[in-house]
Structure 1
Amino acid sequence: MTNDRTTAMTDSSPAAPPAPSRPRTLLRLLPGLALTFAIAVVATILGTFVPVVGGPVFGIVIGVLLAAFLRPGTVLDSGTKFSSKRILQASIVVLGSGLSLTQVVSVGAASLPVMLGTLAVALLGGWLLGKALRVDGEIGTLISVGTGICGASAIAAVTAVIDAAESKVAYAIGTIFTFNVAAVLVYPTLGHLLGLSQHAFGLWAGTAINDTSSVVAAAYTYGSSAGAYGVVVKLTRTLMIIPISVVLALFVARRRSRALELAPDGGAAAADGGTTRRRVPWKKIVPLFIVGFLVASALDSVGAIPDSWHAPLSFAGVFMITMALSGIGLSTRLATLKSAGHRPLLLGGILFVLVGASSLLLQAATGTL
C-alpha cells in the first residue's frame, strides 16, 4: 500500500510544461505576419509607381520608420522575425523555380574569379585594417566574414566556431546591418549612374553586398534579370562559409591546444587529454534554403514546373522578399546600430567601399563588366 501511495505521489509530481500547440504558435505569429503583409502590399504598390526604388526597398524603409516612430509592441515580434528569416528563405526557394541547374552552374562558375577576389579583399583587408584601427580581433573577424560572405548568416556560423561573446556578435551584426541598408538604398542608383548592364549589376550585387536579403532587394530593384543573376551568385558565395569556417575551427583548435601546452602543470590539459577540439556546426554552415533552392532549380530543369507558372512564381518570390524586408525593418532598433561604436563601423564602412570597388575592378579585368 505504501509503495502504491509512493508511486501515486511520484506520478502526481509536477511534470514538464507541455510543448506549445501548433494553433497557439500560429496565433502568436499572426499579428506580425499580418503587419508585414500589409506593409508589403503598400510597398509593392509604391514600387510600381517608382520602379527605380522598387517594392523591397520601400518595404524596409516603411518598416524602419514604423519601428522608430510607432515602436510596435512585443506582440508583433514573433511574426516579424518569422517574416525576416523564414519567409526570406522561402522566397529564395521560390525564385529558384525559375532557374535551371545549367544556369546555376554556369553563373556560379563564371562569377568565381570576382567572388574569390572580393572575398580575399574582405578577409585580408579586415585583418590589416582591424589591427590598424585597434578593433577587437574577434569583432574584426566577424565583420570581415560578414562583409566577405553573407552577413549575419556567416557571423552566426563563425560565432559557433570561435565562440565569440554575445556583445561582440551584437557589435558585428549592428555594423553589418548598417551597410546592408546602405547597399539596398545606394547600389541601384549607383548602378544606373554607372550604366551597368543587368548582368554586370547582378554580379556586382552578388559579390559586393553582404547579406542575402540586401542582395535580393537591390538586384531585383535594378531588374528581374539582375535579380536572377545576383541570387545565384550570392548563393554560390554563401557556400564559402564552409571552407572559411573549417579553417577557423582548425585555427582555434590549434591555438587552444598550444595555450594548454604552455599552461603551468598542464592546466586544463590534464582534464582534457591535452587537446581541445571544436566540432564544426554543419547545420548552421550549410543553410537548408540553399538545398531547397537547388531542388527547385532541379525541378525546373526537368520540366516539372510549367512555363506558365514562372511569372506568378517570380511575382510571389519578390513579394515574399518585400514582406521579409518589412519584417527586418520592423525589427530594427536604431539604438542597436549606435551601440556598435565608431571603430567597428569605420572598419565595416571601409570594407564596404573596398569590396564594392574591387568587384567592379575585377569585373573590368576579367571582361565581365
Structure 2
Amino acid sequence: MPQLLTKTPENAGTGPLTSAAPAGPFRSFHAPHTLLGFTFTLRQVVFGLVLLYCLSPWSSPPVALALGLVLAQTTGNPFGAQTKKATAKLLQFSVIGLGFGMNAHAAVQAGREGLLFTVASICGTLVLGYFAGRWLKLNRSVTHLISCGTAICGGSAIAAVAPVLRAKDEEISVALGTVFVLNALALFAFPPIGHALAMTQNQFGLWCAIAIHDTSSVVGAAAAYGDQALQVATTVKLARALWIIPVALGTALAFKQKGVKVKLPYFILGFIVAMLLNTWLPALQPVGAVLVRLAKIGLTVTLFFIGAGLSAGVLRAVGARPYVLGVLLWGVVSTVSLYVILHAV
C-alpha cells in the first residue's frame, strides 16, 4: 500500500512532491504541507482516503475503477510508479485467492464449453487484427500487440508478447492504453447488457471471458452479475490466458525473432492449486472463504489503481488509429460471441 506521508527532512524535495503542479483548479492539491515533521500534499491525502474507501465493504470493482478515473483526470495519481508496480502482483494474488472459491468439477465443465469459443475467437481476432492494422496503416508491432491483448487477456498478453517482438516502450504504452480504456468501458457496459438480454449466469460468464480483454475487468464485470458468472468467467479466462504461450512462440516465428524468452503466466498454476485444495480438502473451506473475500478486495483495489493510471495525457498519447483498431476488434469479438452464446449455450 502506498505511503500517505513522506518523512522529512531526508525525503523533502524528492518524489512526487517536487513534480510541477498543473495549472487549473487542482493546482493547490500539489502544494506541499508539513505536519508533525511529515511533508505531504493534498492529492496524497485524497488518494489515501479513496484507497481506504476501496478497501471497505461499501465499494465494488466498477465504483473503484470510476473513482480511479476521476482521480486521474483531476488531482492525478501521486504514487504512479508504486501503483503501476503493485497492480500486476495484486491482480495475480487476487486471482489465486479466487481459486479458493471454485469447484474443480464445475471448472472443468466450464472450460470444455469455452474451449471452442476460445480457439475460434483467438484465431479470428489475430487474423482480423492483421488486416485491419494494414488498412489503418498502423505500425506492425502496435497492431500485433493490440490484437494479442484483445484475443487473449489484455495487458498480460501484451506484457508477454512485447519482449518477443522486441517492442519499443512507446509501442507497448499505446497498446496498453488502448486496451485499458476499452476494459473500463466493458466493466460498466456488460452487466446492464446482460440483464437487458436476460442472459443466464453461465452465458454472461462465458461472454465476459471471451469479449473483455483484461482478467481484472472480466472478474469485476462477472462478480457484479453473480457468483456463478464469476466462476465461469474466471475459469474460462484463465484457460484462455494459457494461449499466451503458443501465441508468443508463434509471434517469434512470424516476426523471425531468435533468442527470445516467453514469459509464462505462473499465477494460473496457483489458481489451479487453490481450486483443487478447495475441492478436495473441505476442512480448508472456512479459510478459503476468507481468502476469497480478501481476493475480491484485492481486485477492487487493482481496478482503482488501473483507473488512477489512465490520465488525460495517457488517453491523448494513444492517438486515434490504435483506438479505431481496438474498438473494431472489440466490437466484432463482442457482437459475434454474444450472438453465438445466446443461440448455442
Q: What is the TM-score of this pair, normalised by structure 1?
A: 0.77
Q: Does 1:140 align with 2:121?
A: no
Task: Give 1:34 deviation, angstroms.
Answer: 5.3
* Residue type at the aligned position of 1:162: L
Q: Does 1:65 align with 2:46?
A: no
- Equivalent of 2:246, from 243, 246, 265? 243
List per-residue Cα deviations over 1:86-134 (Å, max 9, x = no partner). 2211111110011133333222122111112221221111112111222
- 1:316 & 1:225 partners in 2: Cα distance? 18
Task: Give 1:324 deviation, angstroms.
Answer: 1.1
1:157/1:245 contact within 8 Å kept: yes
Q: CA separation of 1:151/1:126 partners in 2, compared to 1, >3 Å: closer, same or farther? A: same
Query: Helix, strand or coil for the counterpart of 2:142?
Result: helix
Worse-matched range after superposition: 304-313 or 89-98: 304-313
Task: Give 1:136 deviation, angstroms.
Answer: 1.6
What residue in structure 2 maps to residue 360 of structure 1?
338
What residue in structure 2 maps to residue 262 of structure 1?
none
Query: Helix, strand or coil for the counterpart of 1:97?
Result: helix
List per-residue Cα deviations over 1:230-268 (Å, max 9, x = no partner). 011110110111111111112222xx7xxxxxxxxxxxx
- 2:283 & 2:295 partners in 1: Cα distance? 15
What residue in structure 2 maps to residue 185 of structure 1?
188
Q: Does 1:324 align with 2:317?
A: no
Q: CA separation of 1:171/1:72 partners in 2, compared to 1, >3 Å: closer, same or farther? A: closer
Matches within 5 A, 1:140-289: 140-253=143-256, 277-279=258-260, 281-282=261-262, 284=263, 286-289=264-267
Q: Does 1:103 align with 2:106?
A: yes
- 1:309 & 1:316 partners in 2: Cα distance? 11
* Residue type at the aligned position of 1:308: P
Structure number, greater radius of gyration: 1
Mark the runs of 5 or more structure 1 residues left unpaired by the alignment.
1-27, 48-54, 257-276
- 1:114 & 1:151 partners in 2: Cα distance? 17
2:149/2:155 contact within 8 Å kept: yes
- 1:178 & 1:78 partners in 2: Cα distance? 19
- 1:36 & 1:324 partners in 2: Cα distance? 13
1:39/1:326 contact within 8 Å kept: no
Task: Give 1:178 deviation, angstroms.
Answer: 1.2
List per-residue Cα deviations over 1:23-55 (Å, max 9, x = no partner). xxxxx9xx899556413135x41x5xxxxxxx1
Q: Does 1:290 align with 2:268?
A: yes
Q: CA separation of 1:240/1:305 partners in 2, compared to 1, >3 Å: closer, same or farther? A: farther
1:121/1:354 contact within 8 Å kept: no
What residue in structure 1 maps to residue 6 of structure 2?
none
* Residue type at the aligned position of 2:71: L
Worse-matched range after superposition: 106-115 or 193-202: 106-115
Tell me how large the CA RMSD over aligned residues is: 2.1
Task: Give 1:83 deviation, angstroms.
Answer: 4.2
What residue in structure 1 maps to residue 32 of structure 2?
none
* Residue type at the aligned position of 1:39: Y
Query: Helix, strand or coil for the counterpart of 2:182?
Result: helix
Identity of aligned residues (%): 33
- Which structure shows the higher helix fraction? 1
Q: CA separation of 1:35/1:84 partners in 2, compared to 1, >3 Å: closer, same or farther? A: farther
Query: Helix, strand or coil for the counterpart of 1:120?
Result: helix
- Equivalent of 1:113, from 116, 131, 153? 116
Worse-matched range after superposition: 300-309 or 332-341: 300-309
List per-residue Cα deviations over 1:57-86 (Å, max 9, x = no partner). 00011111112211242xx23542354222
2:77/2:309 contact within 8 Å kept: no
